[in-house]
Structures are given as C-alpha cells and as structure tokens.
C-alpha cells in the first residue's frame, strides 16, 4: 500500500495540479470569508443561502472559524473533482492495467490511492484554514468586529474542532467522487454528475421538499462542517453519511474486483 501511496503522489504533486488546486482553494476561501465581513451589514445576508451572521456572532470565540466552515462545501466540490478524475482517468488512459501488473491486489491498490488523495485533501483544508483565519483578522477592522475572543483557548479549541469537521466533510465529498469515478469510469461524466447533483439538484429538492435536506449527502456534509445546522444534527448527519458511504464503498469494491480493467 505504501508504494501505491507514493506512486499516486507522483501524479498529485505535479505543479499544474498541486499549485493550481491550492490557488483555487485559496481563492474560494478568500471569497467566502471576504463576503462574510464585507457584507456584514447587508440585508440580503452575508453567508450560505442568504443567512445573516451578525457582528455580535462574529465577535464570539467561534467567530474566527465561521468563514472557514462556510467554505467547506466548495472545498468539498474541489475534492470531489480531484478524487473522481484521479480514479476514472486510469480507465480513460488505460494505465490501470499497468498498475495492476505492479500491484495485483486490487483492493490494496484502491486503498493506497484513496490514502494518497486523502492526504492531498488534508493539504487543501490546511491551506483554506490559513487563508480564512488570516483574512478574518485582516478584515475585522474594516467590519468593526472585535477580535479579543478570537485569541482565547476557547477559540483555539473551537478552531480545532471546526478543522476536524471540515476535513471530514471534504473527505465525504472526495469519497463520493471516487465512488462515481469507479462506477462511471469517465472523469467528465463522474465530475458532471457529482457536481450537478450536489450543487444544483440537492439545492432544488431541499428547497421544495420539506425535511428532504436531512437525507441529502451534500447537505449533510455541509451540516457536518458546521457542527450541525438547520438541516440536521451533527450525529444524524454522521450516521446517515456513514451508511451511504459504506454501501457505496461495498458496491464499488465488488465491481472493481470483478470488472475488466479497460473502459
């Protein structure tokens, strides 16, 4: 598995992929965090789905991590695209057969690839955290937000918990992307279906069907990043997502072991 891990990282560390992804993650996080502070007095809201996060809320200990947790959904979409493309392109380019010559144990190969992409996702979350917290302090003066509570031990503990929750959320998105990549064996198809469902279809359904958000994987992943929200509690979100992922992983594991390696 270790050899598979480092083999996959040889692809992930390519400048066009690694640097490009980190720049995209930084830009997305900067946008979300900036809007949170720059639109603080806007009547149309300054957060997800037009939610208003007041100056008083931002001045609390957890206020420093709000921009970071709000970026989780977009970070997750980035992870989904990476996991899906890095998995499905092995079929598209015909390189999976060569990989299996060196590592004939298919599930070991799959586990090594997932572990390498999971560490890549960890790097994106770390970059996002640094950008978000830095911008929060930089924009607090313009937004007239007091930051005294942000340097307390309570704030540091809250930031650590938020980091873990966002990482879990991003890995959920990434795992969904990998499952789609293995099922569809086409990067474009896997990414298109994944993004369309999580970004568009779920939003429409949750807005029109009452209580449907508590069963939608994308909505639940964002709930996990926030530590629980209006859609579902944290424990409910974790439980349902775990069930979805276990079923998905079981299906693709069986298919990956039995299907031909060519597309």
Express each pLDDT in 166-191 by its tens digit: 999 999 999 999 999 999 999 999 99
pLDDT bracket for residue 27 (50, 70, 90): very high
Phi, psi dihedrals of residue 41, rounded to the nearest 5°: -105, 10
Is residue 210 over pLDDT 70? yes
Rounded distance between C-alpha atoms, residue 252 and residue 152, angstroms: 45
Q: What is the mean pLDDT of residues 62-72?
A: 91
What secondary structure letter does DSSP report for 259? S
Is residue 247 over pLDDT 70? yes
Q: For 37-41, 44-48, 140-144, which range has the lowest pLDDT when averaged over its residues?
A: 44-48
The pTM of this model reads: 0.92
Is residue 43 over pLDDT 90? no
pLDDT for 258 equals 81
pLDDT for 119 equals 96
Note the helical H segments in the chain.
Answer: 2-12, 15-38, 55-58, 66-70, 72-92, 96-102, 106-140, 153-184, 187-195, 202-208, 217-225, 234-258
pLDDT for 263 equals 55
pLDDT for 262 equals 60
203/135: higher pLDDT: 135
Upper half-sphere CA count for residue 260 (Cβ side, 13 Å):
4
SS3 at position 62 = helix
Rounded distance between C-alpha atoms, residue 231 and residue 216, angstroms: 9
pLDDT for 98 equals 81
Which residue is it, tokens 């949170």? 36
Closest CA to 27 of 119, 150, 121, 135: 135
Q: What is the mean pLDDT of residues 199-217?
A: 86
Residues 243, 6, 26: CA angle, nearest 5 degrees: 70
The CB density around residue 236, as the number of other CB atoms within 10 Å, is: 16
């Amino acid at each position: 598995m270790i050899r598979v891990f480092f083999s996959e990282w040889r692809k992930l560390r390519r400048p066009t992929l690694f640097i490009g992804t980190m720049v995209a993650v930084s830009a997305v996080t900067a946008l979300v965090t900036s809007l949170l502070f720059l639109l603080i007095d806007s009547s149309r809201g300054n957060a997800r789905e037009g939610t208003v996060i007041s100056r008083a809320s931002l001045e609390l200990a957890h206020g420093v991590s709000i921009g970071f947790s709000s970026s989780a959904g977009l970070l997750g979409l980035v992870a989904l695209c990476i996991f899906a493309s890095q998995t499905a392109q092995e079929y598209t380019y015909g390189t999976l057969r060569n990989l299996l010559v060196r590592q004939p144990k298919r599930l070991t190969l799959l586990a090594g690839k997932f572990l390498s992409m999971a560490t890549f996702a960890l790097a994106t979350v770390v970059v996002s955290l640094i950008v978000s917290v830095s911008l929060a302090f930089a924009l607090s003066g313009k937004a007239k937000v007091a930051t005294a509570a942000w340097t307390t031990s309570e704030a540091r503990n809250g930031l650590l918990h938020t980091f873990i929750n966002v990482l879990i959320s991003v890995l959920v998105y990434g795992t969904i992307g990998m499952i789609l990549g293995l099922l569809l064996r086409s990067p474009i198809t896997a990414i298109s279906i994944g993004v369309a469902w999580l970004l568009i279809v779920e939003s429409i359904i949750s807005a029109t069907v009452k209580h449907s958000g508590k069963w939608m994987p994308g909505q639940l992943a964002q709930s996990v990043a926030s530590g629980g929200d209006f859609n579902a509690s944290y424990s409910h979100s974790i439980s349902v997502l775990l069930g979805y992922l276990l079923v998905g992983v079981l299906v693709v594991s069986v298919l990956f072991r039995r299907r031909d390696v060519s597309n």
